[in-house]
């Protein structure tokens, strides 16, 4: 049952759902499959937060198509036709030392529970939260609460620094003392976060939740090349070593399903 459904950014909705069994088993990095109705698409969504005591999970949904609009149009008291999970492998939570969390756009949602868990494990958390503009920024206070340092960037300068997340990422890496980097957001953003980290030899993790389609490994839409191996994001991930991902192949294959990346490519041409 849906306990709340709040628009927290432009066409971005935070949904709190009562599901005690799922909430009790959820971990940072997990995702669920959601169906709005019996005829709806299977939509993979990251578990953005969970509370085992309240028996709730939180999903963040950007309404961009018919299926996501169906989900976000549901009212308090309504129920989704299906919520299946938790799925995928949870994040590897360790005390690394200093961890940079680079979030792009709706990537803030999956970054939050990982940052929270890493903070609880004793890590120093530096979060770089980026977006195209201020209207698409959300959870700034929640992110700040689990971060020792919180940097906001926007492409147009409407909030925080006017730059891409890779600029403060490089600055922090150059300052030294960084032990691990997480990057979650559009594929092109994660690619250039990985390339920014590569010269520093820092452990870099990317979550490829955004390329999943049916979430079972059956459709093959989330197939990725990791080093010399072929993996399926929904069953083998969603997190992988960002320095081993064949980003060019991933982005080329993603364009077979959606041209959404085109609007972002030009931003990184001068990288």
Give the range with max mean pLDDT: 65-74, 82-91, 143-152, 237-246: 143-152
How far is it, in rounded angstroms, from Cα 35 to Cα 44?
9
Strand partners, 162: 154
CB 28 within 8 A of CB 66: no
Residues 142-161: tens digit of each pLDDT: 999 999 999 999 999 999 99
- Quickly state the pLDDT bin for 260 (edges 50, 70, 90): very low
**Full-model pTM:** 0.90
What are 214's two structure tokens?
Answer: 């049916």
Phi then psi dihedrals of residue 189, to 5 deg = -65, -45
Every domain of the chain with CATH number 3.40.50.80 lies at 98-268
Q: Tell me: the pLDDT tens digits for 120-143?
A: 999 999 999 999 999 999 999 999
Give CA–CA dist 140/210, Å, rounded.
21
Tokens of 12: 């971005």
CATH code 2.40.30.10 region(s) in the chain: 2-87
Q: CB neighbours (10 Å) of residue 6?
A: 11
What is the CATH topology of the domain spanning 2-87?
Answer: Elongation Factor Tu (Ef-tu); domain 3 (2.40.30)
The phi and psi torsions of 208 (rounded to 5 degrees) equal -100, 30
Q: How many CB atoms lie within 10 A of CB 3?
A: 14
Please, what is the end-to-end C-alpha distance for the chain in angstroms? 45
Where does the pLDDT of residue 239 fall: very low under 50, low under 70, confident under 90, or very high at 90 and above?
very high
At 32, the pLDDT band (50, 70, 90 cuts) reads very high
Cα 136 from Cα 9, distance rounded (Å) = 5
Q: Can you point out the beta strands (E) in 19-92?
A: 31-35, 43-51, 56-62, 82-87
Q: Are strands 161-162 and 149-154 parallel, antiparallel or unpaired?
A: parallel
- Residue found by looking up tokens 């609880």 in the block: 120
- Report the percent of the chain where pLDDT is more than 70: 92
SS3 160: coil
* pLDDT surpassing 90 at residue 263: no
By mean pLDDT, which of 75-79, 157-161, 230-234 is the weakest? 230-234
The H-or-E segment that residue 169 falls in is: helix 166-175
∠ at Cα 129 (15, 183), nearest 5°?
90
Q: Which CATH class is domain 98-268?
A: alpha beta
């Amino acid at each position: 049952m849906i306990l709340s459904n709040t628009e927290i950014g432009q066409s971005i909705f935070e949904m709190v759902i009562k599901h005690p069994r799922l909430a009790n088993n959820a971990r940072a990095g997990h995702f669920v499959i959601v169906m709005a109705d019996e005829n709806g698409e299977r939509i993979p969504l990251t578990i953005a937060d969970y509370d085992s005591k309240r028996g709730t999970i939180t999903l963040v949904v950007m309404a961009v198509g018919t299926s996501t609009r169906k989900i976000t149009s549901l009212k308090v008291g309504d129920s989704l036709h299906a919520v299946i999970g938790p799925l995928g492998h949870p994040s590897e939570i360790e005390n690394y030392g200093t961890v940079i969390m680079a979030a792009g756009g709706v990537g803030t949602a999956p970054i939050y529970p990982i940052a929270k868990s890493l903070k609880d494990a004793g890590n120093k958390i530096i979060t770089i939260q980026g977006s195209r503009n201020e209207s698409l920024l959300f959870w700034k206070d929640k992110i700040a609460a689990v971060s020792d340092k919180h940097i906001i960037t926007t492409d147009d300068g409407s909030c925080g620094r006017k730059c891409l997340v890779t600029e403060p990422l490089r600055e922090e890496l150059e300052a030294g003392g960084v032990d691990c980097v997480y990057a979650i957001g559009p594929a092109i953003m994660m690619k250039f976060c990985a390339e920014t980290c590569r010269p520093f030899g820092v452990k870099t993790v990317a979550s490829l939740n955004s390329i999943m389609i049916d979430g079972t490994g059956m459709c093959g839409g989330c197939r990725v090349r990791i080093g010399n191996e072929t993996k399926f994001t929904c069953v083998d991930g969603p997190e992988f070593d960002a320095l081993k991902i064949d980003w060019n192949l991933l982005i080329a294959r993603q364009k077979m399903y959606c041209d959404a990346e085109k609007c972002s490519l030009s931003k990184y041409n001068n990288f």
